[in-house]
Amino acid sequence: MKEITMETKVSELLSDYPGMKETLIAINPKFKKLNNPVLRRTLAKVASVKQAAIVGGMDPLELLNRLRESVGQPPVDAEGETVAVSNGSQEKPAWISAEPKAILDANALLDAQKNPLAEANLALKKIGEGEFVALHSDFKPEPLIEEFQKAGREVYCEQKGENEFVTYVRKGE
């Protein structure tokens, strides 16, 4: 199987990976348009993963990494370099035992065409030092986790169920 990149055409995904149409629709309901055979024969041949993400109102890197994950390929960073995935062996930090100051639903934010990273950063600005927010999602938001870590935030992601993740982001002290 070919490596999925930002430039991979949607039609290639659909032909190279069985069940990819359903995967795309599960990632973003806006991709239900792929059920239209005319669209699959026309636009899907010219639209890249990056362009599809923009059309779907998603961060292109997030879509790329979710597609890669769905076929067993490791995630990549913005430069296309493979990134180390936190494997959950990290011990749960003590600060998580407190109540989060804000709880965000990444899926609802995406459905409302809002950026979960921007919304989480707004929530972090409104809380005190050492406090944290919880971001719920049905996927591990690896690109967001990396952005929080780059900004010097403490981050811990916990998988609660098959499609249930909670990412805790702490405002520095």
Domain ranges (residues) in the chain: 10-70, 94-170
| Residue 80: CB atoms within 10 Å | 11
Do the beta carbons of residue 116 and residue 135 sit within 8 Å? yes
Residues of the chain where predicted confidence (pLDDT) is lower than 50 = 85-89
Q: Can you name the CATH fold of 94-170?
A: Translation Initiation Factor IF3 (3.30.110)
Do the beta carbons of residue 110 and residue 120 sit within 8 Å? no
pLDDT at 166: 92
pLDDT at 66: 92
| pTM over cut 0.75 | no
